Amino acid sequence: MRGAGERWLAAAYQGSPWLALLRPLEGLYRVSVARRAAAFAEGRRTAWRAPVPVIVVGNLTLGGTGKSPLVAWLVRHLVERGWRPGILSRGYGGKSDAYPLLVEDQTPAAQCGDEPRMLADQSGVPVVVDPNRPRGARRLLAAGCDILVSDDGLQHLALGRDLEVVVVDGARGFGNGRCLPAGPLREPLSRLASVDAVVINGVMVNGEPRFAPPAGAFIMKLAPVGWRRLDDGERLPLAPLPFSMPVHAVAGIGRPARFFETLAGLGVEASAHPFGDHHAYRAEELAFGDGRPLVMTAKDAVKCRDLAPSDSWVLEVEASPDPAFVGWLEERLAALAAAAPDMNSRAGSAPAHHQE
């Protein structure tokens, strides 16, 4: 079920030698990225700055890293501390007739995208989808938000930001370390020197790092927290398992193997069915004809609610950043709160923050 894009991405992370043929194109891509960043840094192009703090949670690589679970954790943390956060998203995989799109209870994933739908369900805070992020940010301000969290958008320089957090998949790291199309990087690794924090998702395996993390990087884990029955939303604990085994498991995320590894760690015997990231499911792809239960991720569930068989289950996971990251975040939030009275004067066309 892997298309050409998934095969190329796997090769980029594995360092396949044939990708060396694409290095001339990589050089052109790097020049384009550098020119665009320089245009913002030198003021030839300007970024819109919101009158409230903006936090971008993004990545340098193509493919999933776990940034959306960190966004969900972050907005819960903000709410607990009295902020009124809103989430801004590009809405990849969705298509709307009009933007900005405020995600409401009945907004389908096909319109807003699977990750915005999932984040709206999980967080309960306003979520706005817009390819034009400054315009989407203004819609969140109109909804009463006093801090904005951008799910992805590290490379969307038209929106100014106060904090940049880069999430890295601990299993795959930065692949062969090369930029598109010769590797998985959206920007050169030198970009890490200008971000505020790097968070490694699941870097430790049996006490050993899977790759050399950048100096000062924080650690995060994705922890399973329970099961949810897809058709009626009933929530049950991780154990005992609420279904019989073996099961079928589907995953249309950036790295499906992460989901299947998690299931194995929970003792779930599963036949794995990986799909491409943001896959648009059809009912026949979920009908295996043998009566086995079906398990999936929360991201898949928002698209499969009306397609999957009745005995279908969602594994709920939550990000768990290490205490050092929480302490760092608290310090930065305190600084942002102290600066908040001065932010009203900056909205408009100030240069983007932290660009190469």
- Asked whether 267 and 292 are in contact (CB, 8 A), the reply is no
The domain segmentation of the chain, as residue ranges, is 4-216+322-343, 222-318
Give the whole-angstrom CA distance, residue 71 versus residue 43.
30
Give the whole-angstrom CA distance, residue 237 versus residue 298.
15
How do strand 197-201 and strand 218-229 relate by DSSP bridges?
parallel
205 membership: H or E segment, kind and range: strand 204-205
Q: How many CA within 13 A on the CB side of residue 296?
A: 29
Length, in residues, of the chain: 356
Model pLDDT, residue 349: 43
Residue 15's pLDDT band (cuts 50, 70, 90)? confident
Mean pLDDT of 298-302: 97
Model pLDDT, residue 345: 62
Task: For residue range 191-205, list pLDDT tens digits in order.
Answer: 999 999 999 998 655
Model pLDDT, residue 207: 57
Residue 254's pLDDT band (cuts 50, 70, 90)? confident
Say yes or no to pLDDT of 41 above 80: yes
Give the whole-angstrom CA distance, residue 193 versus residue 209.
21
- More confident position, 270 or 16: 270
Model pLDDT, residue 350: 41
Task: For residue range 169-218, list pLDDT tens digits in order.
Answer: 988 899 999 999 999 999 999 999 999 999 999 865 555 556 777 889 99
Residue 37's pLDDT band (cuts 50, 70, 90)? very high
Structure tokens at 84: 């009124």
- Asked whether 127 and 102 are in contact (CB, 8 A), the reply is yes
Give the whole-angstrom CA distance, residue 250 versus residue 244.
16
The overall average pLDDT reported for the chain is 92
This prediction's pTM? 0.92
- Give the CATH fold of the 4-216+322-343 domain: Rossmann fold (3.40.50)
Mean pLDDT of 341-353: 55
In this predicted structure, which of 22-26, 211-215, 268-272, 328-332 has the lowest mean pLDDT?
211-215
Model pLDDT, residue 204: 57
- The number of beta carbons lying within 10 Å of the beta carbon of residue 346 is 13
Task: For residue range 80-121, list pLDDT tens digits in order.
Answer: 999 999 999 999 889 999 999 999 999 999 999 999 999 999
